[in-house]
Amino acid sequence: MHDSLWIVELICVTKVWSQIDWSVSMAIDSQLIGVSLAFNFHDSNCALSIGNTIVATLELERLFRSKRMSASIAHMELAVNYLLHCYNLRSSQIDYLVVNALNNPFDQVSSNKDIREATYRFLGKDHLTYVVRHHLAHAGYFYFSPFRRALICSCDGGGDLGERVTYFLGDGACLERLEIEVSRHTSTKPYGQFSSFLYGEAFCEGKLMALSSFGATSERIIELVNSIFPKLRNVLFSEGQGLLNETFQGFQGMAQSDPIQAADLAYAVQEEFVRRRVSDIKSVFIPEYKNLVLVGGSALNLSCNTSILNEVTKNVYIPPCCDDTGIAAGQCAVVIANLLGVRATFNLPYMSVDENNLERSRYFGSASAQHNLVQDVTVAAKQLAEGALCLTHIGRPEVGPRALGHRSFLIGAGDIRQRESVSSTIKKREWYRPVAPIILAEDATEYFFGGPNESPYMLYSYHATDTGKEFIPAGLHIDGTARVQTVTKEDDETLYRLLIEYKKITGVGVLLNTSLNLKGQPLSNFAFDTLEISRKINMKSFILTNEESEN
């Protein structure tokens, strides 16, 4: 398809969706201050923008220390006040709000407009507000991709108006919703039904994905999974659990009590989900699109992402906060494109906020006698090589569900017993869940293959080479795969230099990375959180911090 045809076929969001006259919506100012609110049913978050730059986003669970928190207006006001405080701003300076339509506490309007105007009272003042639908907010991450044009697929367990799978075209600062029949396209809802059934609780999709690697092909189970998957698309949760209990008698809760017995079913569910997702995207993607953006909770499924990369197109972008943790920033980008006519900028992935430098120094300074604090990466590399556990508290926290080195536990990649100790004793995670190799990007192909050249957000599954199997045994899953995070100097200079120094000592520029939190807790955010974790660890450890925050 020629560029001229793209221009004809792609129409800006302003003309297709909202019928808002953006030119008179407000006096256009390149330094407009916007506050974006995503209440969601879980993982509430907010974002702050100045002009076309999204300067920060904050997941409320990090602030209130309640995992997967669904916020009230009062909680959100406290979080936004904190965001504003970090940038020396006052609530009276807010020019507009952006609010997600899903679980919107301000009104009960049900609208199929992708964007609509409203007036909401927030922080004691009435604000011009843009209400953005859930999947358009996901699609807003197109603006942070390296692509000028792309097909965007948003797929999750459900947005407003029951929408679960949507496709958009992006071109420059414009987006267009594609009118595609998706009633037979799979969402993450069947996968979520299976994970809740097998584990007896919600939000166990990641556990199911890990357990699936321990399973094997069972034709009988595969046939049953294949037949029931479509039936789980649109049923209520209770009805879906009933169907699963009838079809797979004796399996309810089995992944908790006897995971190996449940592994074949987990394997079949994973394979069926990947097969259907790849088929769905192939049916929509045409070569002229060239580029693909994957968003929504489905994009956290590593092996599915890798299959799409290898079977559909090599040009794939997935943001680190592709799930609902990224809604506030995504919808903010959509509104910026309309107000200013440009793509928003957002320096992913380290865009959350913590305490300021003075507060951080005060916390760490007072704890220096009790904790082993390290700021020199050469010293840190030496301690890691000697078998110590590293708790990283570097700069600003990462956004999204993956720990990407700023709030992480790091250990050497060769000691399986140490990995088991961190997973089982410290984090009290299931024994079969993997940790992630974090590796110098230039060394990645020596140890891994099957994924993209770079994977800064840990969203693809790789196979280990013979060298990888020899030198990184603790970083590999039972099937010889790994969820790899590559690091360049441009990605993060501190992590890059740490890996360089560790390689000088050990000959291997690879460490293992898992999130800096204890069981049932959100990722560490503030110095206080990291120190609390450090106090509870009965293991030789140290805290690596550069005492730098760029809020």
pLDDT for 2 equals 29
Rounded-to-integer distance, Cα 352 and Cα 57, Å: 5
Q: Is 217 exposed, middle or buried (0-12, 13-18, 19+ CB in 10 A)?
A: exposed
pLDDT tens digits for range 141-153: 999 999 999 999 9
Q: 371 falls in which pLDDT band (50, 70, 90)?
A: confident
Instruction: Give the pLDDT band (50/70/90) at residue 28.
Output: low
User: What is the per-residue pLDDT for 105?
Assistant: 98
Longest CA–CA separation in the chain, Å: 66
- CA–CA distance, 102 with 39 (Å, rounded to integer): 7
302: Cβ contacts below 8 Å, ≥ 6 apart:
209, 459, 460, 461, 483
Residue 247 one-letter amino acid = T
CA-to-CA distance for 138 and 325, rounded, in angstroms?
A: 10
pLDDT number for residue 11 = 36
> Would you place residue 548 in the very low, low, confident or very high pLDDT band (cuts 50, 70, 90)?
low
pLDDT digits (tens, 9 = 90+) for 212-236: 999 999 999 999 999 999 999 999 9
Share of the chain above pLDDT 90, in %: 89
CA-to-CA distance for 78 and 96, rounded, in angstroms? 17
* Lowest pLDDT segment from 11-25, 378-392, 526-540: 11-25
Tell me 531's DSSP state: H
Residue 530 pLDDT greater than 70, yes or no? yes
Residue pointed to by tokens 């506050």: 35
> Two tokens at 8?
């004809």
pLDDT in tens, 313-326: 999 999 999 999 99
Are the beta carbons of 250 and 299 closer than 8 angstroms? no
State the pLDDT at residue 369: 61
Per-residue pLDDT reduced to its tens digit, 88-129: 999 999 999 999 999 999 999 999 999 999 999 999 999 999
In whole numbers, what is the pLDDT of the chain averaged over residues? 93
**Nearest-angstrom CA–CA distance, 262 and 412:** 31
Q: What's the pLDDT score for residue 468?
A: 98
- pLDDT range class, residue 490, cuts 50, 70, 90: very high
Tell me the average pLDDT across 497-504: 98
Amino acid sitting at position 176: E
Helices 237-247 and 219-228, interaxial angle, to 10°? 150
DSSP bridge pairs for 120:
127
Residue 549 has pLDDT above 70, yes or no: no
Cα distances from 482 to residues 452, 477, 479, 487, 515, in angstroms, run: 13, 6, 9, 15, 16
- H-run or E-run covering 189: helix 189-199
**10: confidence class by pLDDT, cuts 50, 70, 90:** very low
Q: Is the model's pLDDT at 260 over the cut of 60? A: yes
- How far is the first Cα of the chain from the last one, in angstroms, to the nearest whole number? 43
pLDDT value for 100 = 99
Q: Which two tokens stand for residue 174?
A: 């414009």
pLDDT on residue 4: 26
Contact (CB, 8 A) for 457 and 401:
no
Q: What is the 3-state secondary structure (H, E, C) of 34-81?
A: EEEEECCCCCCEEEEEECCEEEEEEEHHHHHCCCCCCCCHHHHHHHHH
- The span from the CA of 475 to the CA of 46, in Å, is 34
pLDDT at 370: 74
Q: What is the pLDDT of residue 253?
A: 98
Over residues 375-390, the mean pLDDT reads 97
Domains, the chain, in order of start with CATH, read 33-137+325-340 (3.30.420), 146-318 (3.30.420.40), 358-545 (3.90.870.20)
Average pLDDT of the residues in 203-214: 98
Q: According to the model, what pLDDT value does residue 46 have?
A: 99
Q: What is the pLDDT of residues 440-476, one digit of tens each?
A: 999 999 999 999 999 999 999 999 999 999 999 999 9
CA–CA separation, 185 vs 329, rounded Å?
A: 27
pLDDT digits (tens, 9 = 90+) for 270-310: 999 999 999 999 999 999 999 999 999 999 999 999 999 99
- Whether residue 522 has a cis bond before it, omega within 30° of 0: no
Residue 411: its H or E element:
strand 408-412
Confidence bin at 3 (pLDDT 50/70/90)? very low
Of 178-192, 293-307, 533-547, the one with minimum mean pLDDT is: 533-547
Indicate whether 429 pLDDT > 60: yes
549, 547, 550, 551: which is closest to 367 by C-alpha? 547
For residues 422-430, average pLDDT: 95
CA 148 vs CA 6, 9, 143, 291, 317: distances in Å: 11, 15, 8, 9, 12
For the segment 192-198, the average pLDDT, to the nearest whole number, is 99
Token pair 């060239």 in the structure block, residue? 290
CB 205 within 8 A of CB 44: no
